[in-house]
Amino acid sequence: MTAFQTRLIRSLALCALLGVASCAATYRNHGYIPPEEDLQNLIVGVDSRATVDDLIGAPALSGISGKGDYYYVRSRKRTYGMFRSQEVERQVLAISFNEDDTIANIETFSLEDGRIVPLTRRVTDNSVVKTGFLRQLLNNIGALNPADAFGS
């Protein structure tokens, strides 16, 4: 073999090695769930919302109003190279409260307990995809009011 062929084979082997290494999974962790030891310190029916805030901290999510239940969420996502990330683990800790702000129940849920529920959903109903640039420009011309230009 010549020196050129040896370099070519080494270069191809290096490119193959980098290609295989770039397909390794990367994991991202999001959120926080308090450890089990901290949850053991909470007593259902006795401890209040203020006690929960002091012992394990305020949650990232709470119910609809300021007096709602507490939700602690932790998720783990796996990504392979350029592909869309996939959620491989999600844990939800739900602490519900009675009317007098004492703990009513402490529950934990995971992906295995049910279907995947998106925590946020951002959908735009009125899309500009079907409307071309020229049509958008002409629609804006009709929306101008000449009286606004003169400060009346």
110 part of a folded domain: yes
Percentage of the chain with pLDDT > 90? 4
**What is residue 63's predicted lDDT score, i.e. its pLDDT?**
62
SS3 percent helix, strand, coil of the chain, rounded to 5, is 35, 30, 40
93 part of a folded domain: yes
134 part of a folded domain: no
Residue 58, domain extent = 24-116
17 part of a folded domain: no
Which residue blocks in the chain are alpha helix, DSSP H?
A: 3-22, 36-40, 49-56, 133-142, 146-149
User: In the chain, which stretches have pLDDT less than 50?
Assistant: 121-124
Task: Write out the two tokens for 94.
Answer: 């739900």
The pTM assigned to this predicted structure is 0.59
**What is residue 129's predicted lDDT score, i.e. its pLDDT?**
59
**What is residue 77's predicted lDDT score, i.e. its pLDDT?**
92
50 part of a folded domain: yes
Residue type, 120: T
Residue with the two structure tokens 């709602």? 68
| Contact by Cβ (8 Å): 46, 102 | yes
3 part of a folded domain: no
75 part of a folded domain: yes
Distance of CA 126 to the CA centre of its chain: 24
19 part of a folded domain: no
Domains identified in the chain, total number: 1
